[in-house]
């Protein structure tokens, strides 16, 4: 299996990739306001690469439940200078975390290589046209509703089956829009229109998704469901995040999205070393 994202190619199997999060926002749930200044965002991104990040995910709009939507102009103002400065300075692919086709296209033109689209359930396919035009990688993430509505009584009969069906549908529609399977990464969207129980069900059934012949990305870093099991504020959820990351590696997940790159790499390298010695 191969992931293609413009000039980058990742053949699998290989050690789990770690995607470092760079939130250029005032209101992200765990690090809002820390990297709103472009120079600080660039410096933070370079630190994450020095810690070993294989990819960087740059976002200019918080998607936490109830977040205030950001205008296209404001999102562009936040992320484009950061991508322009980072692209020539780092060797790793840059991903743009956006729901807006115009932001995705501008970010790709500025040097990004992947689009991380948490609203992959959109009907309009301008986003997919931009991805196809640039030959970019594309993260198709499952979300029920929008960040404003997603946590209002999310219900599923069988969350794993419904997310699986969503991926099959999007893979077909993406192919029709000119985005090849080799460009696509799947993400179950932990915390996006899911209760604590739905998140745990999805984490318990990750193997169903890693069988779909596409790389799977998991974003659990500092998320509130961890605090729902064992009360902790976002800054204190690293242990729970690492527990999920290690189980995900065992389930065959290929990309872990995290705010805590060095710690995550240590945890997953140990997990991989143990798994490599398993004979049964």
Q: Give 226's contacts (C-beta < 8 A, 6+ positions apart).
A: 220, 232, 237, 240, 241, 244
Question: What is the spatial distance between Cα 32 and Cα 25, in angstroms, rounded to a whole number?
Answer: 6
Does 264 bind ligand HH2 (CB under 6 A)? Our answer is no
- Which residue of 62, 98, 113, 183 would you call a contact of ligand HH2, by CB under 6 A? 62
Instruction: State in angstroms the smallest separation of the CB of 224 from ligand HH2.
Output: 10
- The DSSP H or E segment spanning 186 is strand 184-187
Assess whether 78 carries a catalytic annotation.
Answer: no
Q: Determine if 186 is a binding residue for ligand HH2 (CB under 6 A).
A: no
Binders of ligand HH2 among 16-55, rule CB under 6 A? 21, 23, 25, 28-30
Q: Are 86 and 35 in contact (CB under 8 A)?
A: no
**Which part of the chain contacts ligand HH2 (CB under 6 A), choosing from 81-89, 153-161, 186-194, 199-207?**
186-194
Binding segment for ligand HH2 (CB under 6 A), chosen from 105-113, 121-129, 183-191, 207-215, is 183-191
The site for ligand HH2, by CB under 6 A, has a size of 21
- Catalytic position from the list 4, 214, 222, 223: 223
Give every CB contact of residue 238 below 8 A, 6+ residues apart in sequence.
222, 260, 263
Nearer CB in complex with ligand HH2: 58/273: 58
Distance (Å, whole) CA 73 – CA 58: 16
Start-to-end CA distance of the chain, whole Å, equals 24
Does residue number 217 form part of the binding site for ligand HH2 (CB under 6 A)? yes
Binding mask 132-171 for ligand HH2 (x = CB under 6 A): -------x-x------------------------------
Peptide linkage before 13 cis (omega within 30 of 0): yes
- Nearest distance, CB of residue 141 and ligand HH2, angstroms: 4
What mask of x and - would describe binding to ligand HH2 in positions 106 to 135, judged by CB under 6 A? Answer: ----------x-x-----------------
CA distance 50 to 42: 12
Cα 67 to Cα 205: distance, rounded to the nearest angstrom: 29
Helices (H), the chain: 38-51, 72-86, 101-110, 126-134, 159-176, 196-204, 206-210, 224-229, 238-250, 261-275
Going by DSSP bridges, is the β-strand pair 114-117/137-141 parallel, antiparallel, or unpaired?
parallel
Q: Does 97 bind ligand HH2 (CB under 6 A)?
A: yes
Note whether 64 binds ligand HH2 by CB under 6 A. Answer: yes
Q: Which residues bind ligand HH2 (CB under 6 A)?
A: 21, 23, 25, 28-30, 59, 62-64, 97, 116, 118, 139, 141, 187, 189-190, 217, 219, 257
């Amino acid at each position: 299996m191969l992931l293609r994202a413009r000039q980058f190619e990742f053949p699998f199997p290989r050690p789990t990739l770690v995607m470092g999060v760079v939130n250029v926002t005032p209101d992200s749930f765990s690090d809002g306001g820390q990297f709103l200044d472009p120079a600080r965002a660039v410096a933070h991104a370079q630190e994450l690469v020095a810690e070993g990040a294989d990819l960087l995910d740059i976002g200019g709009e918080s998607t936490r439940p109830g977040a205030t939507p950001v205008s296209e102009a404001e999102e562009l103002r936040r992320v484009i200078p950061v991508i322009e400065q980072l692209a020539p300075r780092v060797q790793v692919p840059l991903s743009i975390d956006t729901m807006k086709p115009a932001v995705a296209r501008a970010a790709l033109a500025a040097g990004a290589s992947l689009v991380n689209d948490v609203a992959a359930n959109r009907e309009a396919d301008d986003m997919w046209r931009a991805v196809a035009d640039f030959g970019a990688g594309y993260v198709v993430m499952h979300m029920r509703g929008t960040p404003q509505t997603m946590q209002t009584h999310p219900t599923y009969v069988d969350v794993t089956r419904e997310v699986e069906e969503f991926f099959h549908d999007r893979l077909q529609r993406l192919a029709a829009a000119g985005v090849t399977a080799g460009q696509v990464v799947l993400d179950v969207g932990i915390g996006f229109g899911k209760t604590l129980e739905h998140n745990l069900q999805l984490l318990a059934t990750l193997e169903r998704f890693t069988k779909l012949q596409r790389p799977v990305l998991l974003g659990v870093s500092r998320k509130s469901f961890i605090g729902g099991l064992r009360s902790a504020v976002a800054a204190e959820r690293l242990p729970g995040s690492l527990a999920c990351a290690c189980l995900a590696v065992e389930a065959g997940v290929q990309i872990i999205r995290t705010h805590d790159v060095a710690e995550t790499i240590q945890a997953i390298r140990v997990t991989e070393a143990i798994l490599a010695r398993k004979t049964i």
